[in-house]
């Protein structure tokens, strides 16, 4: 879907700035910023006095845009001018609509789709996806006993209101931003970034506002912090996106396009993109938005030569001259062009695709490889979801509810080899380090050094497709042989509880519920009881069983 309204080109941008003056922001009398001619429209621009003399067009000065609050006030005016928000309340698009559209787009017989999972599997999957841990045995059994027909939707709603949801997804975006960052560790604060995002997700702040805060940030050096580190504003969460890019215009431009539009333009920094239509000049025009002063592009043939480049957004928007000459205003302008231009469907689509990719194991396209010439499967559907996401004012929880309540998300797992099979089943996905640690801590007290090691060894770039990820020998050896981890299992609260159970069959059942968040099959039940018999005593048998379960592929995989 494409919205029909004017792009945020110079007249529109000036018109919104004019609203600031009307709404009480500082005017020409009390500020020394550069004057801006008010937009001219029709006869008003040719108005004359009673004596017939031509009147001078009214002027105003660009309001101050130094603080985050001042920037957000301007961006909020752009936001309220979006026609999508005005019609959004009338748009209906349900999980069932999504399922129906996807089946039509896939075009395969129904018997080729994986069957819906049972309540136990659904419960474990949605806990892992939404809050980043397995359900406890008590939570799982309570869900299984619930007889309400809408209990899955109720569970989704409840999990989305937890602090764990906010923290899990804040950490995801921290990894997206920082995984490949080469920034000096003394000049960034990833934890402050995650803490800020967790609070935003907890409040369900719309995605456009979150991103606008990041893109419009202009961190500046403020001396030193009490701990001796340079103070460049890293303790203010939103600054850390720019700081992760080392505050370099080329890095910020590249990462902005990759993360928030799903477009890879980095190759165009040195030459025209070899596989897409992006030109070198377009990359540097985008980078010019983030320069502290004038921006110069190195000559392609002679790096000693430099060419002055004015800011221009990827879709062609050029800021007014007064904005182009103000570094703070440029950041506000590029945030507005990125988020609020109705022709920039990439912004909403990139977020939809990332969330879909995390929940289903595959995206409609690689999360950071979209461009005008890139391949997209089920293009009409992802465009429709993205359009409604915009209509819903970038409501993050609405998007989660939409996807999690679909039959598509609730299907069984299957290894998927070709795009023709995408979304006929859910791809099994590897768990990140924090999730592995959270699951271990539910039944064993893992020492902090071991937890840090697990987080490191099981860490991977969230932008890499799951189909390209593989387990490592280091991961396997850590789980099998780490002395401190094995000691934690041998002295775990779970083992103490299992020792109090006299029935070996129930002992096996409780071990599976605690470690894998499911009931054992008949074959697994028999193998577990055999372990007890061969071990010679209950304690040794429990040690063997816990070791087997923790070292299973299932323990480090979402299914």
Q: What percent of the chain stands above pLDDT 70?
A: 84
Count CA within 13 A, CB hemisphere, residue 371.
19
Structure-model confidence comparison of residues 63 and 198, the more confident one: 198
Q: For position 22, what pLDDT does the model report? A: 40
Q: What is the pLDDT of residue 88?
A: 62
- Residue in this structure with the two tokens 């008003």, named with its chain if needed: 44
User: pLDDT tens digits for 438-451?
Assistant: 999 999 989 999 99
Of 32-41, 90-99, 224-233, 393-402, minimum mean pLDDT range: 32-41
Closest CA to 338 of 221, 260, 285, 270: 260
C-beta of residue 301 within 8 angstroms of C-beta of residue 396: no
Q: Which residue has the tokens 């992760």?
A: 244
Long-range contacts of 528-536 (CB under 8 A, 24+ apart): 528/504, 529/504, 529/505, 532/504, 532/507, 532/508
Q: Please report, rounded to a whole number, the percentage of residues in the chain having pLDDT higher than 90.
A: 59
**Mean pLDDT in residue range 94-109:** 95
pLDDT tens by residue, 200-214: 999 999 999 999 999
pTM attached to this predicted model: 0.88
What does the domain layout of the chain look like in residue ranges? 10-87, 95-161+343-427, 430-558
Element of type H or E holding 530: helix 522-535
Distance CA 503, CA 321 (A): 79
pLDDT, tens digit (0-9, with 9 covering 90-100), for 43-66: 444 445 555 566 555 554 667 888
| Most trustworthy range by pLDDT among 13-17, 188-192, 273-277 | 188-192
Highest mean pLDDT range out of 18-22, 25-29, 461-465, 553-557? Answer: 553-557
- What is the predicted pLDDT for the residue at 317? 84
Shortest CA distance to 130 belongs to which of 96, 95, 155, 94? Answer: 155
Check pLDDT > 70 for residue 18.
no
Segment 228-235 shows an average pLDDT of 92
Best CA proximity match to 460, nearest among 180, 120, 42: 180
> How far is CA 43 from each of CA 14, 21, 155, 370, 459, rounded to the nearest angstrom?
18, 22, 59, 44, 63
What's the pLDDT at 274?
Answer: 53
The per-residue pLDDT for 269 is: 54
Q: 488-542 pLDDT, tens per residue?
A: 999 999 999 999 999 999 999 999 999 999 999 999 999 999 998 898 899 999 9
Q: How far is CA 552 from CA 10, 114, 505, 515, 516, in A?
A: 59, 23, 20, 10, 9
pLDDT in tens, 347-376: 999 999 999 999 999 999 888 765 555 678
DSSP code at position 88: G
pLDDT digits (tens, 9 = 90+) for 112-140: 999 999 999 999 999 999 999 999 999 99
CA angle 476, 482, 486 (to 5 degrees): 110
Q: State the helix-helix crossing angle for 522-535 and 504-516, rounded to 10 degrees.
A: 110
Q: What confidence tier does 196 reach under pLDDT thresholds 50, 70, 90?
A: very high
Would the pLDDT of 430 be above 90?
Answer: yes
Residue 307 confidence (pLDDT): 86
Q: Where is average pLDDT lowest: 282-286, 299-303, 472-476, 488-492?
A: 299-303
pLDDT at 260 over 70: yes
Q: In this predicted structure, what is the pLDDT of residue 51?
A: 54
pLDDT, the chain, mean? 86
Write down the pLDDT at residue 413.
95
User: Which residue, 54, 23, 56, is CA-closest to 37?
Assistant: 56
Of 81-85, 97-101, 277-281, 405-409, which range is least confident? 81-85
Confidence (pLDDT) at 371: 55
């Amino acid at each position: 879907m494409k919205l029909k309204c004017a792009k945020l080109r110079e007249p529109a941008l000036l018109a919104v700035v004019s609203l600031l003056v009307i709404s009480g922001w500082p005017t020409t009398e009390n500020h020394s910023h550069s004057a801006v001619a008010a937009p001219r429209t029709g006869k008003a621009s040719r108005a004359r006095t009673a004596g017939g003399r031509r009147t001078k067009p009214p002027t105003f000065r660009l309001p101050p845009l130094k603080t985050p609050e001042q920037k957000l006030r301007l961006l909020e005016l752009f936001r309220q001018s979006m026609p999508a928000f005005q019609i959004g309340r009338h748009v209906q698009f349900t999980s069932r609509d999504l399922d129906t559209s996807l089946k039509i787009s896939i075009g395969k017989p129904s018997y080729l789709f994986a069957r819906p999972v049972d309540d136990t599997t659904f419960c474990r999957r949605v806990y892992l996806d939404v809050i980043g841990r397995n359900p406890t045995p008590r939570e799982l059994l309570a869900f299984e006993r619930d007889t309400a027909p809408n209990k899955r939707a109720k569970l989704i709603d409840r999990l989305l209101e937890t602090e764990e949801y906010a923290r899990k997804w804040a950490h995801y975006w921290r990894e997206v931003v920082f995984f490949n960052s080469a920034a000096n560790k003394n000049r960034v604060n990833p934890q402050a970034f995650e803490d800020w995002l967790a609070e935003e997700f907890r409040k369900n702040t719309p995605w456009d506002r979150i991103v606008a805060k990041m893109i419009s940030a202009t961190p500046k050096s403020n001396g030193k912090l009490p701990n001796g580190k340079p103070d460049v504003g890293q303790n203010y969460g939103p600054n850390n996106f720019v700081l992760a890019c080392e505050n370099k215009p080329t890095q910020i431009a590249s990462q902005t396009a990759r993360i928030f539009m799903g477009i890879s333009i980095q190759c165009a920094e040195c030459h025209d993109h070899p596989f897409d239509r992006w030109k070198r000049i377009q990359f540097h025009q985008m980078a010019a938005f983030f320069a502290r002063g004038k921006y110069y592009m190195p000559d392609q043939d002679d790096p000693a030569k430099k060419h002055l480049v004015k800011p221009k957004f990827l879709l062609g928007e050029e800021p007014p001259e007064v904005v182009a000459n103000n570094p703070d205003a440029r950041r506000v302008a590029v945030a507005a062009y990125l988020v609020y231009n109705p022709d920039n469907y990439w912004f909403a689509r990139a977020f939809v695709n990332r969330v879909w990719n995390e929940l289903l194991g595959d995206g409609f396209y690689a999360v950071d490889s979209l461009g005008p010439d890139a391949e997209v499967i089920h293009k009409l559907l992802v465009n429709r979801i993205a359009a409604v996401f915009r209509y819903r004012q970038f409501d993050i929880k609405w998007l989660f509810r939409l996807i999690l309540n679909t039959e598509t998300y609730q299907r069984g797992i299957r290894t998927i080899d070709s795009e023709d099979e995408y979304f006929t089943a859910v791809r099994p996905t590897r768990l990140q380090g924090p999730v592995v640690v959270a699951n271990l801590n539910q039944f064993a007290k893992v020492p902090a050094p071991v937890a840090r090691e697990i987080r490191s060894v099981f860490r991977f770039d969230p932008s890499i497709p799951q189909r390209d990820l593989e387990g490592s020998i280091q991961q396997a050896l850590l789980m099998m042989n780490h002395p401190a981890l094995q000691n934690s299992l041998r002295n775990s609260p779970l083992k103490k509880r299992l020792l109090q159970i006299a029935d070996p069959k129930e002992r096996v059942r409780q071990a599976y519920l605690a470690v894998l968040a499911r009931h054992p099959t008949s074959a697994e039940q028999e193998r577990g009881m055999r372990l007890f018999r061969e071990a010679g005593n209950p304690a040794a048998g429990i040690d063997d069983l816990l070791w087997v379960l923790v070292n299973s592929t299932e323990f480090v995989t979402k299914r």
